[in-house]
Amino acid sequence: MALAIAIGTVLPILTGLVTKQSWGAGFRAFVLAVLSGATGFLTELKGSFDLNTSFDLTAALLTWLLVALTGVGVHLGFLKPTGISTAVKNTLVKD
């Protein structure tokens, strides 16, 4: 669970790096949701392999929700007000 929260804090920056600035906020939110879903499912899959247990779909969905909420909270509460979000969007993928 701690790994998922740590990844959730980095996902908004990763989303800003792989999307163009001209793309709408809705599309960037979709990218963040997809990355959060992948994180949730892969984290649960890793946990099931590590503990030699069966895959728990409910835990994967809850982890997806936790990662998504963490990512949105970090973006709106820290990255956007400080200008980091805008700087990241201008870094890697250009229009």
Its domain, for residue 7, covers 2-88
Spans of the chain, pLDDT less than 50 = none
The string of pLDDT tens digits covering residues 7-16 is 989 999 888 8
Q: Is residue 7 part of a domain?
A: yes
Q: How far apart are CA 24 and CA 74, in angstroms?
A: 19
Q: Is residue 75 part of a domain?
A: yes
Q: What is the pTM of this model?
A: 0.80
Q: Is residue 94 part of a domain?
A: no
Instruction: Decide if 81 contacts 58 (C-beta within 8 A).
Output: no
- Please tell me the total count of domains within the chain: 1
Q: Is residue 68 part of a domain?
A: yes
Q: Is residue 49 part of a domain?
A: yes
- Given this model, what pLDDT does residue 33 score? 92
Q: How far apart are CA 82 and CA 66, in angstroms?
A: 23
Burial class (CB in 10 A: 0-12, 13-18, 19+), 14: middle
Q: Is residue 51 part of a domain?
A: yes
Give helix 2-18 / helix 57-74 axis angle, nearest 10°. Answer: 60
